[in-house]
Amino acid sequence: MTILIKNGHVLDPGTGLDDICDVLIDGDRITEVEKNIETESDRVIDAGGCWVMPGFTDLHVHFRDPGLEYKETLATGGRAAVRGGVTTVCAMPNTKPVIDNGVKVREVMERAKRESLTNVIQLGAVTRGQKGEELADINGMAENGCHAISEDGKSVMNASLYRKGMKAAKKEGIAVFAHCEDITMVEGGVMNADEKARELGLPGITNAVEDVIVARDILLAKETGVQLHLCHCSTADSVKMLALAKEEGLPVTGEVCPHHFILSTDDIREDDGNFKMNPPLRSREDVEALREALKNDVVDVIATDHAPHAEAEKNRSMKLAAFGIVGLETSAALTYTELVEKGVLTPMQMAEKMSYNPARILGLSDKGSVSAGKIADVVIFDPQKEYVIDKNTFLSKGKNTPFHGRKVRGEVRCTIVGGRIVYEGGKTID
């Protein structure tokens, strides 16, 4: 099938193209990006007034499949992803059972090809069962395409074992995605340790819970030489340490989620489980530091940490609610509204942090760019569309978001995965 996208404003971090052009897709590849392409095609899409960007790659999602399908599945997560313009996701391994060997990685990725509209890269655990006692089958998982290992949902507290895992990942040429949390310091905390926590009578989580492990993991990456990616940075000191690591030339990257660069504990008006996430919403000073780090390219990636839960697990006190927020269907609009429109990021930086940089971190050289020869993963984004976020319209099984009712600008109009239109006009196309 051939698709001709006409009159769109192409934002391509791979080539630096920032202009109105046409894009021709033939089969699963982009074949031409030029002005005024005149050719016969099976489908013509008028993208006038819209941005044409490489499909977004989300390095951090929880699809809950296998074992927790009541929260999300490969199918429902895939539909949510393409509605949000996300053409590739990294699925975290804290499923039931934990993804800790090559067979499990292969099984999920083979099922995803049949069941999911988006590309799914299944990450593997660092330790067997995520128990922190012995290393997982890192070689087998790498051979089956996991691209990175992560103990996401927790940290490997045994530094010696973690260093061995890093060495194994380095040997296999894959990255380590780090959830930075010293579990010995959490002490039952459910939100940021500040005046708002005291006001609500809730136990707090200090910034040091994250920062101590960020420092440790950077030092271990320095020693082992492994590619380290810091997940969901939430504190001013975490991005300060990331900046220092980059200044030293270490192979360290980092991500920030929309909820952390938008919301602070000032936004928590009551004891509401939809505001419970890990790491927690921090202070306004932390939020400003994260925004500055995004602006200055200290932070490489915007990811969601999409973490769906059943309503009964979230519609309760923060003391009892599960940690997590969904984000696949709101990330692009929130990024545009809060960062691009407000001058924190340029449109090209948005494309870099949601498309190009994540693809580079994963080593996906044929993705993250709208240029001839690349895989035709493309998103058409309308930056003028205004609407109110309505969780009841989400395609994800999870509706757990504090952004319900928030007015935003910017909507995904069309998502193309591997040359196939999978989302258009508000509907997924199976």
The answer for residues whose C-beta is within 8 angstroms of residue 288's C-beta and 6 or more apart is none
Write down how long the chain is.
430
Instruction: Answer yes or no: are the C-beta atoms of 307 and 262 closer than 8 Å.
Output: no
State which H helix or E strand residue 171 sits in: helix 159-172
Contacts for 116 with CB less than 8 Å, ≥ 6 apart: 74, 75, 77, 78, 81
Cβ atoms < 10 Å from Cβ of 54: 32
* Other CB atoms within 10 A of residue 130 CB: 22
The annotation places the binding site for substrate at 62-64, 94, 278, 309, 323-324
DSSP category for residue 413: E
CB of 264 closer than 8 Å to CB of 286:
yes
Identify whether 100 is a catalytic site residue: no
Taking alpha carbons only, the member of 106, 96, 90 closest to residue 175 is 90
Going by C-alpha positions, the residue among 314, 335, 340 that lies closest to residue 402 is 314
3-state SS assignment for residue 37:
coil
Count of beta carbons in the 10 Å neighbourhood of residue 171? 13
In sequence order, the 6+-apart residues with CB closer than 8 A to the CB of 205 are: 186, 189, 190, 191, 192, 193, 279, 280
Which residue ranges make up the annotated binding site for Zn(2+)?
Answer: 60, 62, 152, 179, 232, 305
Per annotation, catalytic residue among 12, 100, 217, 305: 305
Contact 72, 96 (CB under 8 A): no
Q: How many other CB atoms are found less than 10 A from the CB of residue 407? A: 10
Task: Name the residues annotated as catalytic.
Answer: 305
